Structure 1
Amino acid sequence: MMRTLVFGDIHGGYKALLQAIKLVQPAIEDRLIFVGDYVDGWSESLEVISYLIALSEKHHCIFIRGNHDELLYKFLKHGDANAMWLAHGGESSKKRYEDLSEEILNKHIEFLEQLRNYYVDEENRLYLHAGFTDQSGPEHEFYPNTMYWDRTLWEMVCGMDPELTPNDTKYPKRLKLFSEIYIGHTPTTRIGKAVPTQFANVWNTDTGAAFKGPLSVIDVNTKEFWQSDPVWKLYPNEQGRN
């Protein structure tokens, strides 16, 4: 039976990604969905993207655009190295992408250009990096970058009354559009959890790999999940994101 496996934010943690792949052992028929932020933080952003490109040649992969991926793209394509990006993990990516061959650089730029802002599967499950604000759905967002920067979706469900049901008039209209929503972007460790976490019909798969948490993968049908070691332990001589 085909599995749909969702990978949380990686943030340059190539060693954690290899651990996660080994744990889940994806079959050819499985669908692998990555919710973005492949880069920035740990020192192997280039290796992460190279691996994902190769992985997509053997498996059905769907790559969602994260805010850090967009920032790296702007640097590689246009030389935009803004201070905010560099201070929040971009410095490690900037260093890793120095002195590359034009062939590798162009392949990585093409990968970043082809990322999706969101994906909806046949079970009406939505996958995107951060969130959306338009009550008609992400395809109606006036500013597409909302989908990889927004935190209001996650903040909303964290603060919702758990007794609310979709039939309640107070139930957020955004949530009624999809059977489930899978996101990353805001580490669950901020609310004291280091596992994929659900509120309402929203699942957050970012378990803090950029900081002190592991990289997580979840099977959307069974809700079984797998986790790498805490990523900082795989890079003992690095600080990751601060």
Structure 2
Amino acid sequence: METYVIGDIHGAFRALQQVLERSPFRPGLDRLIQLGDVADGWPETPQCVELLLSVPNSIWLQGNHDWWAAEWLLHRLPRTTLDQFWYKQGGKATFNAYMLQPAEVGKRHFHDFFGKQLPYFEDESGNLYVHASYDPMLPITEQAPEDLIWSRTLWREHLAAVGYEECFIGHTSTWLENEIPCQRANVWNLDQGAGFQGRLSMMNVRTKEFVQSDVVQELYPGIKGR
């Protein structure tokens, strides 16, 4: 079994299809870990969720955008009472996409997907997977949940993931500086700006071989992402 990791998707279903097709990933044999932020930005979050649900042996981490989307799916607040910051940060696309779906789809996605996303994952090789960051001076079990989906300290301060072989994160996009998966200390960043005008990345954890989608903006001509 190989383990593959995918960065922030942000509703880019076409990009997700591309990396799964371009990768040697073997559904049912290999493990897939998605680092969070499946939602918000491009217009196909429900389709992304459906595809990820269909992949056996997959693990999904919660991103900050997923937390926002889950809160809306749970409470179904009217647009006038939505968190306007979420709405402006890509939530509008998620809101519109689910409004085009039967209500049962949103309920099922909350129950089967968003409600089952993990705050972090540790594999048998001593690697850590987390959406955003964590404090390497504290055990992972003692971390503030909001830091795991919001903090950027680990990447921006070039910190090592103490106690782990390697750490895999998303959240802090690198696409303006580095268009491919990149490493600082023993931390790998898999967010190459798929939510903006970058690409979606998918990498083999052991070999570090990776594939990427086309520039996501080119997959959605005439549509603005985040």
Correspondence for 2:18: 19
Shift of 1:25: 3.8
Amino acid at match of 1:198: Q
State the distance in 1 between where 2:130 and 2:69 align.
Answer: 18
Which of 70, 88, 106 is equivalent to 2:67?
70
Q: Could you tell me which amino acid in structure 2 is paired with residue 188 of structure 1? A: T
Query: Does residue 47 in structure 1 map to residue 47 in structure 2?
Result: yes
Q: Check the 8 A contact 1:134/1:140 in 2, yes or no.
A: no
Aligned to 1:148: 149
1:53 Cα deviation after fit: 1.2
Partner of 1:199: 184
- SS class of match (1:223): coil
Normalising by structure 1, we get a TM-score of: 0.87
Say if 2:136 and 2:161, in contact at 8 Å, map to a contact too: no
Instruction: State whether structure 2 residue 29 is matched by structure 1 residue 29.
Output: yes
Corresponding residue SS for 2:104: helix
Q: Tell me how far 1:99 sits from its aligned partner.
A: 4.8
Work out the CA distance in 2 between the residues paired with 1:18 and 1:175: 31
Deviation (angstroms), 1:16 = 0.4
TM-score, length basis structure 2: 0.93
SS in 1 for 2:129: strand
Q: Distance in 2 between the 1:94 and 1:41 partners?
A: 10
Q: How does 1:1-242 map to 2 (within 5 A)?
A: 2-27=1-26, 28-55=28-55, 59-78=56-75, 79=77, 81-110=82-111, 111-133=113-135, 135-141=137-143, 143-157=144-158, 175-190=161-176, 192-241=177-226
Structure 1 position 134, deviation (Å):
5.6
**What is the CA-CA distance between 1:100 and the residue it aligns to?**
3.0
> Which moves more between the two structures, 229-238 or 17-26?
17-26
Kept after mapping to 1: 8 A contact 2:73/2:107 = no
* Over 6 Å off, 4+ runs: none
Q: Is the 8 A contact 2:136 2:162 kept in 1?
A: no
* Deviations, residues 46-80 of structure 1 (Å, cap 9, x unaligned): 1111111122xxx2101000000000011111226
Cα-to-partner distance string for 1:83-102 (whole Å, 9 max, x where unaligned): 11001000011011115324
Give deviations 1:19-52, integer Å, cap 9, x for gaps. 0110114212101000000011011111111111
What SS does the corresponding residue of 1:210 show, helix, strand or coil? coil
Q: Distance in 2 between matches of 1:178 and 1:137?
A: 11
Structure 1: any 5+ residue segments left out of the alignment? 158-171
- Assess if the C-alpha contact under 8 Å between 2:74 and 2:107 holds in 1: no
Percent identity among equivalent residues? Answer: 38
Contact 1:193 1:207 (C-alpha < 8 Å) held by counterparts: yes
CA–CA distance in structure 2, aligned partners of residues 45 and 204 of structure 1: 22
The CA distance in 1 between the partners of 2:103 and 2:45, in whole Å, is: 17
Bigger Rg over Cα: 1
Distance 1:119 1:30, change over 3 A: same
Aligned-residue offset at 1:116: 0.1
Deviation of 1:119 (Å): 0.2
How many correspondences in the alignment? 220
